[in-house]
Amino acid sequence: MICLLLTSLTGCLDDEDDFEDWRSNRNEEKSEHEGKTWQTVRYARPSIHWTFYRDFDECDPNNDSIVAYGEFFDCLNMDLMNDGEVKDGYNSLTSEFANQVFSMADLDMDGNLTSSEFDYIKNYPHFECELVPYGHCPGADLSFQDFSGMDLEGINLSYANLRYSDLSAANLNYADLTGANFNYADLGYADLDYADLKYAELYGANLTDANLTGANLTGTLLERATFQYANLTNADLAYTSAWSTGLSGADLTGADLTDAYLVGADLRYTNLTGANLNYANLYTADLDYADLTNADLTYADLTNADLTNAIVTDANFTNTYWKKTIWTDGVAYDKNQA
């Protein structure tokens, strides 16, 4: 009744209106740049069935015995289009893939490919795979294999298929794992210090007690993966999709979780000291006993989140959205209690 009486004077916002106003303000504050994710990168690459069969002369239209990057890019796109791999409007998406393939072949790094260098890629993806430290296995199909305990430090496994593979206790420090598929893989106790996992897929993967200090997981798919007790200190997890991901007991000190999708994530007893959770979606996330000391949650969505017994000393909850949010006292609130 009171709401109805006041409507003509001040208006009466219901819960949906409150949320839309909050979201509108949030989006205005956000950077115009949206980070790329595993999903956008997946569609920027050809399928695993595609092979590149082109002769050197076909990619050297001016017959000067070298293939410049521009010539290679045009040749690659023509091959992709002929094979139905590139659709209208998607040509620009192949540039990252072209850069990767060209760089691998350009051994003297002069920006041109000689005939011998071109031979290295003309039968892509059948590169010789070297499973050694700092070896090259980009795009390789290594699914269902056992690599447990292997020393693969610095290896290039970018865009490789490692689904269901066993990499437990493997050394992958400084490895290039960009866009790799680790769905349901076992990476328990693996070392991944400063590994590059951006745009990778780790759906349902096991990373219990894994070490990912300083690792780059920007835009990575982490849904239903297990990171229990993992070390993610100073890791970059911006724009990750971590729906129902198990992170209980993990160390995320100083981690960047900007705009991370943490809906339903298990963050119990997680150390988030100094973490950046700006714009993170923590809908229904469980943060019981989590340490959020000095964490920044500006514009985070805390709908139905549970922060019972969480440590929130000097944490920033500015412009967070609350709806049935359980605060540290175990009571649910619809307004910011920080």
**Residue 114 belongs to some domain of the structure:** yes
d(CA 242, CA 118): 40
Single-letter code of the amino acid located at 316:
N
Are 227 and 204 within 8 A, CB to CB? no
Question: pLDDT digit string (tens) for 166-209?
Answer: 999 999 999 999 889 999 999 999 999 999 999 999 999 999 99
Task: Report helix, strand or coil for 9.
Answer: helix
Are 244 and 222 within 8 A, CB to CB? no
pLDDT of residue 20: 78
**Residue 94 belongs to some domain of the structure:** yes
Q: Enter the tokens of residue 168.
A: 């437990």
pLDDT of residue 9: 36
pLDDT of residue 45: 56
CA–CA distances in Å: residue 29 to residues 19, 156, 200, 251: 15, 37, 28, 29
Question: pLDDT digit string (tens) for 40-86?
Answer: 555 555 555 566 778 899 999 999 999 999 898 888 877 777 766 66
Which residue range is the domain that position 87 belongs to? 52-119
Are 179 and 158 within 8 A, CB to CB? yes
Give me the number of domains the chain comprises: 1
Question: pLDDT digit string (tens) for 256-304?
Answer: 999 999 999 999 999 999 999 999 999 999 999 999 999 999 999 999 9
CATH number of the structural domain spanning residue 76? 1.10.238.10
Examine the pLDDT at 12 and tell me if it is beyond 80: no
**Residue 89 belongs to some domain of the structure:** yes
Long-range contacts of 92-99 (CB under 8 A, 24+ apart): 93/43, 93/44, 94/44, 94/45, 94/46, 96/41, 96/44, 97/44, 97/45, 97/46, 98/69, 98/72, 98/73
Task: Report helix, strand or coil for 321.
Answer: strand
**Residue 11 belongs to some domain of the structure:** no
**Residue 230 belongs to some domain of the structure:** no
**Residue 71 belongs to some domain of the structure:** yes
pLDDT of residue 8: 37
**Residue 102 belongs to some domain of the structure:** yes
**Residue 322 belongs to some domain of the structure:** no
d(CA 338, CA 248): 23
> What pTM does this model have?
0.77
pLDDT of residue 90: 47
pLDDT of residue 109: 84
Are 216 and 237 within 8 A, CB to CB? no
